[in-house]
């Protein structure tokens, strides 16, 4: 009947996924799901666009799955699903070794609101695909489509989550996190920094580990090594790297440990508490042998607060942070950096307090002589 045809529900489309036999997912099949929800589409074209975006994310020669756009349920088991996140984790992992690439386009400009972005279109011949490396002063985004400038007519601006391969923050990631993609990313960073310097007479700031090679070559290697080891940013302009980090400029003064300097002793506490407290005592003895006055919150506040009680632990951390602001230096003691020590390091850097790492071996290799005051009466 005509009435019945008019009342038929619209078609619903989905993506059926089957793992390839050689894939780590071998044996899995089901409807594509993302963020815990199965993906449905009212138009076949929309489903195919998602399918193409998923295929374009692959950065190796071994696709994990095969995709098929189907009218739901299409004779398939409706109880079965495959998570897009699992597929992406496999497909976006590059093959080990050198990844050959060729830069086929460079664009630098304002994306709106004063946000300047440099983009390299990079061809990966072994994968027969192009990726886009987008860089600004905060980090790098790698995408499988030109979502910034739309030079590829992909219209992917509204599909950012579907085309993003990597998001790298200069402050939270290391270059090594990029694996085989690193050479191309370094070229994108250098291109963007060069372009930014063409448009400004001021200085740019970037963590030392990300500084482009062209600027490293003319810089003081001792300063760069120090900045990288201490996770500091460096400033550079058209004339090269400018050394104006107070922590570096006054390092000789702090390394000589002028009498009266107060040093905050940060060391692990959780785990074997008694052993860790003993190590904190050793760290203090080492600091005294270096001619400074140690302040060790782990030793002080554990005498009056219960570290296993959350409220008292937070109180101890808060008091320690207030004292850290009044110290001349922070020493990270030992070979293990606990979450608490990481927080203290970040706070010290925020207030411009020099941070020094002291190894367990260094601490345990130095003992106070009997004439250095450990037997004094405290009253």
Which domain does 107 fall in, by range?
95-199
pLDDT of residue 375: 39
Which of 245, 277, 299 is the C-terminal boundary of a domain?
Answer: 245
223 and 284 fall within a common domain: no
Residue-wise pLDDT for 298-356, tens only, equals 999 888 888 788 788 888 888 888 899 889 999 999 999 988 899 899 888 888 889 99
pLDDT of residue 102: 97
CA-nearest of 94, 257, 112, 118 to 192 is 118
pLDDT of residue 12: 96
Strand positions, DSSP E, the chain: 13-19, 29-34, 37-38, 65-71, 81-83, 102-110, 116-124, 129-135, 139-143, 164-169, 204-207, 233-237, 240-242, 262-266, 293-295, 329-333, 355-358
> Residue 374 falls within a domain, yes or no?
no
> Residue 371 falls within a domain, yes or no?
no
Residue-wise pLDDT for 244-268, tens only, equals 888 888 765 544 444 568 999 999 9
263 and 349 fall within a common domain: yes
Of all residues in the chain, what percent carry a pLDDT higher than 90?
62
Which of 48, 69, 91 is the C-terminal boundary of a domain?
Answer: 91
Please tell me the distance from the alpha carbon of residue 196 to that of residue 110, in angstroms, as a whole number: 11
Residue 150 has a CB neighbour count (10 Å cut-off) of 12
What's the sign of the alpha-carbon dihedral 195, 199, 202, 204? negative
219 and 279 fall within a common domain: no
CA-nearest of 194, 236, 201 to 219 is 236
85 and 101 fall within a common domain: no
Of all residues in the chain, what percent carry a pLDDT higher than 70?
92
The structure tokens 């200085």 sit at 203
User: What is the average pLDDT across 12-39?
Assistant: 95
> Residue 379 falls within a domain, yes or no?
no
42 and 109 fall within a common domain: no
pTM for the predicted model, two decimal places: 0.66
Cβ pair 300, 319 in contact under 8 A: no
> Residue 108 falls within a domain, yes or no?
yes
> Residue 75 falls within a domain, yes or no?
yes
Residue-wise pLDDT for 173-207, tens only, equals 999 999 999 999 999 999 999 999 998 888 999 99
Contacts of residue 309, defined as CB under 8 A and 6 or more positions apart, other chains included, come to: none
pLDDT of residue 289: 84
Higher pLDDT, 253 or 78: 78
54 and 150 fall within a common domain: no
Higher pLDDT, 132 or 222: 132
User: Is the confidence at residue 377, as pLDDT, over 90?
Assistant: no
> Residue 378 falls within a domain, yes or no?
no
140 and 102 fall within a common domain: yes
Residue-wise pLDDT for 208-224, tens only, equals 999 999 999 989 998 99
pLDDT of residue 318: 84
224 and 274 fall within a common domain: no
Q: How many domains does the chain have?
A: 4
User: How far apart, in Å, are the Cα atoms of 216 and each of 228, 278, 350?
Assistant: 12, 42, 25
230 and 179 fall within a common domain: no
104 and 188 fall within a common domain: yes
259 and 342 fall within a common domain: yes
Collapsing DSSP to helix, strand or coil, 251 comes out as helix
Which of 38, 67, 91 is the C-terminal boundary of a domain?
Answer: 91
> Residue 10 falls within a domain, yes or no?
yes
292 and 311 fall within a common domain: yes
pLDDT of residue 231: 84
Confidence band of 135 (pLDDT split at 50, 70, 90): very high
Cβ pair 334, 360 in contact under 8 A: yes
> Residue 14 falls within a domain, yes or no?
yes
CATH number of the domain enclosing 287: 3.40.50.450
């Amino acid at each position: 009947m005509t009435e019945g045809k008019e009342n038929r529900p619209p078609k619903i489309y989905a993506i059926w996924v089957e793992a390839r036999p050689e894939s780590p997912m071998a044996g899995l099949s089901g409807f594509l799901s993302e963020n815990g929800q199965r993906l449905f589409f009212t138009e076949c074209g929309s489903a195919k666009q998602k399918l193409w975006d998923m295929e374009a994310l692959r950065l190796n020669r071994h696709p994990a799955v095969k995709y098929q756009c189907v009218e739901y349920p299409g004779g398939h088991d409706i109880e079965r699903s495959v998570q897009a996140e699992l597929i992406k984790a496999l497909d976006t992992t590059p093959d080990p070794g050198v990844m050959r690439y060729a830069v086929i386009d460079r664009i630098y400009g304002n994306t709106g609101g004063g946000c300047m972005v440099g983009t390299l279109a990079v061809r990966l011949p072994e994968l027969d695909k192009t990726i886009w490396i987008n860089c600004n002063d905060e980090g790098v985004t790698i995408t499988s489509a030109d979502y910034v400038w739309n030079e590829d007519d992909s219209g992917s601006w509204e599909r950012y989550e579907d085309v993003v391969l990597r998001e790298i923050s200069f402050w939270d990631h290391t270059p090594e996190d990029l694996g085989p993609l690193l050479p191309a990313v370094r070229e994108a960073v250098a291109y963007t920094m060069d372009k930014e310097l063409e448009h400004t007479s001021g200085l740019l700031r970037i963590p030392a580990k990300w500084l482009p090679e062209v600027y490293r070559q003319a810089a003081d290697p001792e300063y760069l090594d120090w900045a990288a080891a201490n996770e500091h940013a460096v400033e550079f302009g058209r004339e090269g790297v400018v050394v104006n980090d107070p922590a570096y400029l006054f390092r000789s003064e702090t390394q000589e440990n002028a009498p009266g300097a107060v040093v905050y002793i940060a060391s692990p506490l959780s785990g074997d508490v008694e052993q860790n407290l003993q190590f904190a005592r050793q760290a203090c003895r080492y600091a005294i042998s270096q001619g400074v006055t140690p302040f060790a919150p782990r030793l002080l506040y554990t005498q009056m607060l219960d570290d296993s009680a959350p409220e008292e632990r937070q109180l101890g951390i808060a008091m320690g942070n207030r004292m850290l602001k009044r110290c001349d230096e922070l020493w990270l003691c030992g070979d293990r950096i606990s979450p608490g020590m990481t927080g203290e390091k970040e706070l010290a850097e925020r207030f411009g307090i020099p941070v020094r790492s002291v190894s367990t071996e260094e601490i345990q290799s130095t003992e106070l002589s009997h004439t250095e005051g450990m037997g004094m009466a405290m009253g």
